[in-house]
Structure 1
Amino acid sequence: MHRTMFDTPVLKTLLRWVSIIILKILGWKTEGEIPRDLKKCVMIAAPHTSNWDLPFTLMTAFALNAKVYWMGKEQIFKPPYRGLMMWMGGIPVDRSQSTNMVQASIDAIQGNDQLFLIVPPEGTRSKVTYWKTGFYHIAQGAGVPILMGFLDFKRKASGIAGTYVTTGDIEVDMNYIKSIYAPISGKKSDQFN
Structure 2
Amino acid sequence: MILPKVPEQVAKNHFVVSCWFAKKILAWLNWRVTGQFPKQKKFILIVAPHTSNWDFIIAILVMLALNIRVTFLGKDSIFVGPFKWLLEKLGGVGIDRSHPHGIVGQMVNLFAAREKMILGLAPEGTRSKTSEWKKGFLHIAKQADVAVVPVSLDFNKKEVTIMSAQYVSDDIDGSLVQIKAMYQGVCAKNPHLV
Q: Which of the five TM-score ranges fits, normalised by the shorter chain?
A: 0.7 to 0.9
**Equivalent residue in structure 2 for 1:163, among 156, 162, 165:** 165
Equivalent pairs counted in the alignment come to 179
Which residue in 2 is equivalent to 1:13?
16
CA–CA distance in 2 between the matches of 1:145 and 1:180? 15
Residue equivalent to 2:48: 46
8 Å contact from structure 1 (residues 44, 120) kept in 2:
yes
Counterpart in the other structure of 1:88:
90
1:41-190 matches, within 5 Å, as 41-74=43-76, 76-94=78-96, 97=98, 99=100, 100-188=102-190
Worse-superposed segment, 123-132 or 79-88: 79-88
Distance 1:69 1:39, change over 3 A: same
User: RMSD value over aligned CA atoms?
Assistant: 2.0
Task: Answer whether contact 2:74 2:95 (CA < 8 A) is retained.
Answer: yes
CA distance in 1, matches of 2:146, 2:108: 9
Counterparts of 2:86 and 2:186, CA distance in 1: 30
* Structure 2: distance between partners of 1:44 and 1:106: 16
Aligned partner letter, 2:66: L
Residues of 2 paired with 1:132 and 1:113: CA distance?
27
Match of 1:34 among 34, 37, 48: 37
Q: Residues 50-98 of structure 1: CA distance to partner in whole angstroms, max 9, x if unpaired? A: 1112221111123334211111344644545232222211123355x46
Given that 1:123 and 1:132 are in contact with CA atoms closer than 8 Å, whether structure 2 keeps it comes out as yes
Deviates more, 1:65-74 or 1:158-167: 65-74
Structure 1 segments unaligned to the other structure (5+ residues): 1-5
Q: Which runs of 4+ in 1 moved over 3 A?
A: 73-80
Per-residue deviation, residues 34-53 of structure 1 (Å, max 9, x unmatched): 12x21100110211111112
- TM, length-normalised to structure 1: 0.83
The answer on whether the counterparts of 1:33 and 1:64 sit within 8 Å (CA) in structure 2 is no
Identity across the alignment (%): 34
Please give the alpha-carbon distance, in whole angstroms, between the structure 1 residues aligned to 2:66 and 2:117: 15
Q: Where does structure 2 lack aligned partners over 5 or more consecutive residues? A: 1-11
